[in-house]
Amino acid sequence: MAKSLVIVESPAKAKTINKYLGSDYTVKASMGHIKDLPKKDLGVDLEHNFRPTYVVIPAKQETIQGLTSAAAKADAIYLAADPDREGEAICAHLRELLDTKKRKFYRVLFNEITRDAVREAFEHPRDIDANLVDAQQARRVLDRLVGYQVSPLLWDKVRRGLSAGRVQTVALRLIVEREREIQAFQIKEYWTLAARLEGKNPPPFEARVVKLKGEELEIPGKEAAEQHRAALETAKYVVQSVETREKRKYPVPPFITSRLQQEAVRKLHFTAKKTMTIAQRLYEGVELGSEGSVGLITYMRTDSTRVAETALAAAREYIGKTFGPNYLPAEAVRYKSKKGAQDAHEAIRPTEVMRTPESVRAHLSAEEYRLYKLIWQRFVASQMNPAVFDQTTIEIGAADYLLRATGSVEKFNGFRAVYEEGKDDKLDADEEDEMKRRLPAVEAGDVLRLLELLPEQHFTEPPPRYNEATLVRALEEKGIGRPSTYASILSVIQNRSYVEKDPQRRFHPTELGMLVSDLLVKSFADIFDVAYTARMEEELDEVEEGKLAWTEALAEFYKKFKKDLRAAETTMEDLKGEGRPSDEKCEKCGRPMVIRLGRNGQFFACTGYPDCDGTKDMTPELAQKYDVAVPASTAAPEVAEQICEKCGKPMAVKRGRFGYFLACTGYPECKNTRQIVMKEGQATVAPPPPEIPEQTCEKCGKPMTVKRGRFGYFLGCTGYPECRNTRKILMKDGKAVVASPPPEVPEQTCEKCGKPMAAKHGRFGYFLACTGYPKCRNKKQITVSEGQPATVGN
């Protein structure tokens, strides 16, 4: 009897499903898509209704042979790819490829990989959804039209290897526009004034001055702050009103894809891509000892907050047993999905709420455990009662001033016993802190004692740069892209070096990113417009719902795009060929200079090249003059004047492949340089290298030279890379001394992991450390006694 063939995307998913189906089924993996548009050609027939040409992905030939062989032995084929557009397209291509004779094809879908869900899906299979296939095809063709026709334009005008994308370019535009907001922001000073007061009952508390003679109080500077402080020094502080009201804080819904990505950034410091990769593993199946492979969460690409009734009942049972009846609402909590959400899938939740994070921790990696715990906690909390607070507001009169103090006391923690959502904005966090302040029991008419007045200077702050969480939120709010694409978008703009992350993990555009964004937005004002991109997403959703033909959606788009593309071919600035003209003259030969793009950003190049190789840096002043996009993060740092310690000439800020540095103006006669170090946004010049006597490498006999590393100056062998010997430079009594060479000790093997151990220099001298660091942190102290061989401690 022929077995039925089941095809999924991944081996992990195949392993989990195979456990539930039994011996009548053979489960194989397609390893994702088996067909795609060709890599070297557009693959779209623009003259015949955007007809795509799909080809077999070369790397999938062996996989396809295995699937073809298995299909020949089966009388029925179940296509069980993920329940989304991509999964539907994979199924359609598999049917085209394997339908060589009359076989029965079935499409099965499950939102979670559990025994009941899998069996239910196989009992109620359906046909492939043509609307979903069309929607995927429309997006794929649309992105191909943009990518394969705009990217070559960037190659011609700017440099090879660049890329443009329908959604990625709009995401880049948001980051660039935010950077320009920050650069244009005018910082303004303002002050606040608070009074520290004490009543009959503890504790002392702070109240902020909010009004003067009934009008909102604004304090522009120190002088005004002092005037108000002086007026309040002698005032009588009387409680005017005390209002206490009950406030409820409700839980948030279970995760949808975008919210999971945002919260994983905030709480776990995972990138969106990393979050989705780990979530995929949790969905497809994790080995749980005797249970075998088990899918721990429901499908992770969804924008619906709907939850199955069985899951709601299980969550309520768990909450009632674990936390008690006070934490359990009278009925299950059901959340409304946002407008336009696709309701085919549930929210992201644990497949079995009784499978707590701690019960599976031993079977998960640290990252899998943390993400599963986040998903589990959010789901359980979503079905719990709200937290209850007594919020108190005290208003105090003092002469013509009104002061206000706000605080709250938590009466019932409710869902907060399990979960509390992270905060993106400093304002939200400040308000949360203010609410947590404890206030004393006071009554109207009470006279309070002034302990001190607290004037405080502040400065307005520019809007913060986007991090992954806030950028995903912005894309979602503006209707750009779809949650399933956010992770890849964020990865692409970083991989193309269009954006980088600062120490706070926030995005800032590179000079290249600003340049590409400006060129594309100027040349394709319609296509890369935020509102237009959002409208295009709505049309693609209409294709998915069967309300619009995919070819109609593309025809409308391409009409605008084709016009912009033709214009851009002639009007887009050329920084690669002839360059952009400027008024600058070459210092070497006097010829005009043009603006070009190099690997370190834009610069001025002599038009006499190759006869003259004169160049000139793009200073901030010149960048402003020629309207060149230079992010603040790449602008030349301001440093105090420095004199070369070798020849006495001034040093100047220069830009190299590793950033800005100080170089002697006596070059090429003097080649002295000094590193510029950035700390918390401030530029400092590294001290000159210490003067030390000449040293010879004890390993190869070559001279050693002073070098600078991330931990300061050290001696390195000039025989590098053949000889990698180094010696530490230590500062003692203001003088530089070279650490003695490591003592000779017999070769040692780490007894914990079996790897070799090597001599390292620490603050207490030399020690042996395992070369398997940081996984293995084993170390042993080396003791050196005068006249005695070195010994290694236990």
Tell me which residues are annotated as active site: 299
Closest by Cα among 768, 765, 789 to 780? 768
Cα four-point dihedral sign 714, 719, 721, 726? negative
User: How far, in Å, CA of 150 to CA of 562, rounded?
Assistant: 11
Cis peptide bond prior to 204, omega within 30° of 0: no
Q: What is the largest CA-CA distance in the chain?
A: 99
Phi, psi for 632 (deg, rounded to 5): -55, -30
* C-alpha–C-alpha distance, residues 304 and 445, integer Å: 53
Q: How is 310-359 classified by DSSP, letter by letter?
A: HHHHHHHHHHHHHH-GGGS-SS---PPPPTT--TTS--B-BS-TTS-HHH
Q: Number of H helices and number of E strands within the chain?
A: 19, 36
Which two three-digit tokens encode residue 344?
């085919």
Whole-Å CA distances, 215 to 63, 211, 396, 436: 75, 5, 15, 27
Integer Cα distance of 698 and 530 in angstroms: 64
Contact 147, 163 (CB under 8 A): yes
The residue whose two tokens read 């007894």 is 751
H/E segment holding residue 578: none
Q: CB burial class (10 A; 0-12, 13-18, 19+) of residue 710?
A: exposed
| Closest C-alpha to 374, from 291, 274, 503, 477 | 274
Give the position of tokens 């109207």: 444
C-alpha 761/C-alpha 753 separation (Å) is 22
Strands (E), 94-236: 104-107, 189-198, 205-212, 215-216
Q: How far is it, in rounded angstroms, from Cα 135 to Cα 85?
A: 7
Question: Could you give the 3-state DSSP secondary structure of residue 518?
Answer: helix
Task: Quote the Cα angle for 125-129-135, to 5°.
Answer: 150
| CA–CA distance, 159 with 345 (Å, rounded to integer) | 43
Instruction: Give the residue from 512, 480, 526, 515 showing the smallest Cα distance to 167.
Output: 480
Q: What is the 3-state secondary structure (H, E, C) of 350-381?
A: ECCCCCCHHHHHHHCCHHHHHHHHHHHHHHHH
Query: Coil, strand or helix: which one is 107?
Result: strand
CA-based nearest residue to 767, from 751, 755, 783: 783
Token duo for residue 794: 């236990």
Could you tell me the two tokens for 214? Answer: 């009934």
